[in-house]
Each structure stands twice: as C-alpha cells, then as structure tokens.
Amino acid sequence: MRISQVTLYHLRMPLQAHFETSFGRIYARECILLEVHAEGMTGWGECVADRHPGYAYETVGTAWHLYQEFILPALIGKPLVDAADLQARLAHIKGHQMAKAGVEMALWDLLGKASGQSLREMLGGERRRVPVGVSVGLQDTLDELLRVVDGYLARGYRRVKLKIKPGRDLSVVQAVRQRHPDLPLQVDANSAYTLESAAALLPLDDFDLLLIEQPLAEDDLWDHRRLQQRFHTPLCLDESITGPRQARQALEMEACRVINIKQGRVGGLLNARRIHDLCLRQDVPVWCGGMLETGVGRAANLALASLPDFKLPGDISATERYYARDITREVFTLNADSTIDVPDAPGLGVTVDREALEQATVRKAVFPPR
C-alpha cells in the first residue's frame, strides 16, 4: 500500500451536551480526521487528541505539527505492508501515540478495503455486537446528575461511568448508588488525586463499583500500586497505559487489575491488540475507552471491542449521545440489550458525509502541499 496524498481536517464538533471532567469542561470536541489516498482508494483515520492538553500532552496542534513535519513525510510514497510496517517507519519519532494511531487507523481502513475484510475480521474479533455503557460528566448539582443518569438509563444504557474529582466524589457516587442499587457503576478521576488526597476515596470501596479509573497521575504506576493495595475494588488504568510495555509493567507491578484500552492513547490498533492479547493471557479483563470520537473513530472502537478479552462494557455510546450531526453516514444506535453493532463492511465500514465534514472543518491541509 503506497500512500500518495493525505488531507488533514481539523474538526470542531459541537456536543449535544457539555462534557466536564476533572480537567475541565468542553462544549465541542476537536480532533483531526485524515483522508488518506493510496492506489486509487481512500482510507479514513481519526486522531483523538483534543484541543487542550488536559487529558494527555498531545493536542490537535501537536498532532498537526507532527503530521506535517515528521509523520507524513516519513510515510508518503513508501511501500507499507501492514500496521507493523507503518509503525517501524515511525519508530524514530518519540511518543505522539495519538498522532501515530490516527494515520495507522487510515491504513487499516485501506487494507480492509483492498482485501474486502472488515476491521473486526482483520483484528480477529468474533462478536457482532458489543456491550456498551455511557460516561457521564460532572454536573452542576446532584439533582442534575440524577436527571442525566435517569435519562441515559431510560435510553437503555445498562452501565454508567461517573466522572469524579476531589470534593465531588463520595457525594456523587452516594447519590447515584442510593437511587440505583443494582446498576453496574464505575468512576473515573482522570488523575485528579495524589496518593495522599486519594485517601478520601477509600469509602468508595463499599459502593460495589466495577472499578475506579485512573485516580493518580499518568506517570505514577508505583503509587497506583500502593493505592490498589488499599482497595478491594479493582483500579483501572487509562492515561498511564501509553503502550504495551506500560501495560506489562503495570500488571507486573500490580498497579491495576483492569485496563482501559484506547487505540489512540496506546499508539494504534496494533498496540491495542497487543495489550489485549497480553491481558487475555494473564486473565486481566479489559474494556474499550472512548474519546468522544466521530463515527470514524467509533467504528474502530467497535471493531476493537469485539475481541474476546473486552469483558467489561465499553465507553462507546450511540451517535446521538455525542453529536446532532456526525460526519459519517452511518449512525450508531443502542440495541435493547445495551449493545452496539460492530460494522461489517470492508475496512472501518463507514462512509464519510462530505457535507457534514465540510461543516465541521475549521482548518484543512493537503500533503504533499499542492
């Protein structure tokens, strides 16, 4: 597969409702969409880096820079056999996993279209529909939070993740747990605590949570280990797991008992599958995290989550939970059993709605420049 041209689209997609985490509130999601031309075909990829470096150091701006200056020049015109080959060509670039993952996703799409295989088939996933939940942001009041949760339950979601931060942790969980005693429930702190301040979370051990996600800093496996020793509830790492090596070390260190796999954060679908395989061998459950993706990234997440070790529901919600108008023609809907169907068509299995894409685009660049 020889890539001849890439168009980068900086997208700004207004959210149906604001999304607030411990690192801030957003009203619109920004990301980069890649349109990759090779051998008469078009592949699409999504780089999940956000506008602001609150979740991770990568941003739309850093990824744009990496694409223009380093990543695309290293790939264009070169023969690429598969994702491993693409990653080998990018191995001289440190970090920037989300930028690398975005272009790798487009290569998977192209390879699937060339071979007639869906991404699910290429990855080796077997399930045709995957269990999903919904990630609920911080709300201004507990009443508002309960209203929002009730709304999602009414729509059919059977697993809820609550965002928490210091001062808005126990009260949040208590309110939802009291109203929904049997609801599969988990929390995500997005690294808002230190080992010391996380002592405030110890009472959460009595709320029958599925897991507690990323309480401490991204680069702090050791203190996660120390914290895990104080909890019966499994800790789950998100931000800390930036590749297969971090996953192996976190498990060896017993820094967590569950891993949230996001293809962008770990440098692409190939690394995501490697982490999946490692966890499967060690009997550690994984689940598919989300980055408020467009339909392009959502299709990739669904295919990934069809692999057998994705034993917990993913943060992969229906299109309408995120966007009034998505950039794919396919609209993902929630089935009555709180699952979403995995796309079946070759590659990612989605088609981009050019008009919606234009509407969401705030900046565009073609490489090589014309």
Q: 197: how many CB neighbours lie within 10 A of its CB?
A: 14
Query: If DSSP codes are grouped into helix, strand and coil, which group holds residue 10?
Result: strand
Site string for Mg ion, 134-173 (x = CB under 5 A): ----------------------------------------
Give Dmax over CA atoms of the chain in angstroms.
Answer: 61
First vs last Cα of the chain: how many Å apart?
22
Contact set for Mg ion, span 181-220 (CB under 5 A): 188, 213
Contacted entry of Mg ion, ligand OSB, none for residue 339, CB cut-off 5 to 8 Å set by kind: none
Stretch that binds ligand OSB, among 39-47, 84-92, 177-185, 288-296 (CB under 6 A): 288-296
Q: CB of 60 within 8 A of CB of 32?
A: yes
Location of structure tokens 């909890």: 231
**Quick check: bond before 368 cis, omega within 30?**
yes
Q: CB of 131 within 8 A of CB of 159?
A: yes
Contacted entry of Mg ion, ligand OSB, none for residue 317, CB cut-off 5 to 8 Å set by kind: ligand OSB
For position 264 contacting ligand OSB by CB under 6 A, the verdict is: no
Residue nearest to ligand OSB (CB): 290
Q: 187: which strand partners?
A: 162, 212
Contact set for ligand OSB, span 169-188 (CB under 6 A): 188
Degrees to nearest 5, angle at CA 67 with 319 and 28: 30
Which of 223, 309, 315, 330: binder of ligand OSB (CB under 6 A)?
315
Which of 87, 186, 190, 271: binder of ligand OSB (CB under 6 A)?
190
For position 291 contacting ligand OSB by CB under 6 A, the verdict is: yes
- Chain residues binding ligand OSB by CB under 6 A are 55, 135, 188, 190, 238, 289-292, 315, 317
- Chain residues binding Mg ion by CB under 5 A are 188, 213, 238
